[in-house]
Structure 1
Amino acid sequence: MAPNDSAETTGNAADEATGTMAGRRRAARYVVPVAVAGVAAATIGLVPALADSGDPDLPKITAQQLIEKIAASDTEQLSGTVKISTDRIPSLGGLAGSLAQGDGTHGGSSADPQEKLTELASGTHTLRVAADGPDKQRVSILDSAAEYSVIRNGDQVWAYDSKSNEAFHATGDKASGHAEKRGEATVPDGVPTTPKAFAEEALKTAGPTTSVTVDGTAQVAGRDAYKLVIKPKQGGSTIGAITIAVDAKNGVPLKFTLSPSSGGKAVIDAGFTGVDFAKPAASSFTFTPPKGAKVTEADDAKAQQQAGKQAQEFKVPGGPAGLDGLAGGKGMKVIGEGWSAVAEIEAPGGRAVPTSPKSGDVPPAAQQFLDSFGDKVTGKFGSGTVFKTRLVNALMTDDGKVYVGLVTKDALVRAADSAN
């Protein structure tokens, strides 16, 4: 192989190219669901990256040219199979998994995309995807004995869970809340299901604090590709590098891998194992509920969701100073910039997060659970607990502040110190 030159872009060049891309196509949001609810921040831990086969000999290209190639890609028709590997909250085990995935009661239907598709944030999944322009997409999550699909066709959105034989339906404006208007096989609320959806959001980070280079070639899903590598220039980030395999012919991202700065397994690994850029069959975007299927309309699901929320809502001892108090906190500000940015959130009224069993706010058993995955820290800010994951870390101080970011424990402490 004759490797490509690694050509680093300047911040301005990367910004300009990224701006061009955003102007041409509205990127799907890169949503890795992260909830800081008083006890932990979400994490993503992964399985090994998908294997590439061969390093094709391709013409040299600079990073700026490759970014522009992605931006200029007008491919709107494809079908294929995607493998996504994630592990959202491994330290909390089955409890976290059940909380993350929901129990199907909040939306009133096991087919509700807002409930079902959170499963993509944990484990390894095989998806079958298809797209024909901005208004026709289909995403199917394949299981050994069942299949879950979301189908968008114009202003109609259907979701179907074959395991429970339940369907979910939304039309018109209601559908916009359950599927992107312009997405390449994306799903409700911008949950990424293809490497392109991940890559477009990642490229928005390109700027003065980012290094963007071309690092050789690869073959993904039988297609020749360039490898674009995005790295933080700043220290303290939990993100080590983002590698995007870009189709050498049409500029479509074929694979997205996010590696942590701590080393080890990738944090997100999403890539095509097979892809075809021909027009999918029209039947891919049609759906009729099977006989006997329970159908839930979007309006009915919303009403049931509100009722379920009120019925299942609970308060930890201590009232608003507890977990649910943080969710309503105001006055969030950002400390730092770029990859080292940290969000500072103050609990309502400045009341502290309950962290001591002596206060009576937390039962001893619950406190032991909290301490099992938190590290006590001190600094100019006072004292608090850092809840560490491989990607997202959170410092919760004893005086009622939370510092959250894609940064290390030491970086969180420095941010807290700088704010005091």
Structure 2
Amino acid sequence: MRRLSLLAAALAAASSLIAPGSAAAAPTGCTASEADIFAPAAPLSGANGELLACRTVTLPHVPGDIPMNAYQVRYVSSDLRGKKVPVTGFVAVPKAAWTKSTHRPTVAFNPGTLGSGSQCAFSKQMTGAYQDAYEGDQIAAFLKAGFAVAATDGMGYVNGGVHTYMIGQNAGHSLLDIVRTSRQIPGGTLNTQGQVAISGYSEGGAASLWAAQVAASYAPELKVVGAAAGGVPGDLKLTAAKLNGGPFAGFLADAVVGLHEAYPALPFDELMNDTGRKAVADVKANCLFGTLGAFLGKKIESFTTAGYSLEALYALKDPAGNSWGQAVEEQKLGVGIGGRFSFAKWKIDFPTFQYRGALEEIIPVETQEETRRLYCKAGIPTQFKNDYLGEHLLTDGMAKNDVTAWISDRFAGKWMIGNCPLF
């Protein structure tokens, strides 16, 4: 008996050394701690979307007291180079029975910009550690409609990580993989045959369209029926030029740090002056409004010893000859897309709903119109609405009922008539 006791103790000690991010067995219950969910990254070998850890939670910042089962999760995803990384988020399933089809559908959701500090993760904020998140009403609208919600935090919110803000494939992979994860919740009710819609606004809008673009190649088994994307920064160069030196320069700072994290070989640290080094620390420490306050009116030229402009930075190259400009261009939406039977790099065989506010003041209207044009040119059925009477942030809330209704129609199999221009 003593030998058995010693063996059991040894096995228990060994299992405690397996990090939540390693290739451990799938959890048999959602009993992880928040520390387990956000533990530092460790080597991974699991399948994309594999559930690594989960915990039962409530979502006090989703209004309406909607009866639901909710879980914070840690799961496997892949970055733009195919490296396995841990990602976090939450899954919420209404308790009310779903009666409109055989299997309850799921909305894959990416929030708008929340900031790059570890405390800003969407799932942390919705589960009670509120900073300045603003997407609770949209989550509530989906749940009231009976949809399950699989909401990703995005890559880089585990402890010691850096959010890869605005990196297209990273965002798209994270968003699709949490749908896979949602179907592995111990005792959960979501079925692999359930339909999927993708949704997001601003940063989340870009993530939504990136998920749409990579879905056929990255997650072909998912039954995606549509993608709703609002306030989309489709062209980061155009967006950066507008943000630089303005009241919303914090978004540009987030993007620069996110690009550096995703493309670490590009020159960065060696370019910085003291102001630049403090700027990087500010990005990594702050959530949305803290970042906007820290960078109000700041110009990119003030952060480097050589005073590089955006155009000068784009020309700088890593030892392999890849430039900052190329890295930025790789995030442009609508490039290389086509329908299911096309020879395009990214094949999309479902419709999109793209929208913006009439008083948009942050994301250039030109890039939002151009993203719509590129989708239409590629033959992707697209509805576009650009007359919400709000600026950037207000439009997110103004559109929530339209987004929910549009997704509901896709789940119901209704035909969508796009409004692409004839010429």
Same fold (TM over 0.5): no
TM-score by length of 1: 0.22
Of Structure 1 and Structure 2, the greater helix share is in 2
Larger radius of gyration: 1
Q: Considering Cα pairs closer than 8 Å and 6+ residues apart, tell me whether 1 or 2 has the greater RCO.
A: 1
Of Structure 1 and Structure 2, the greater strand share is in 1
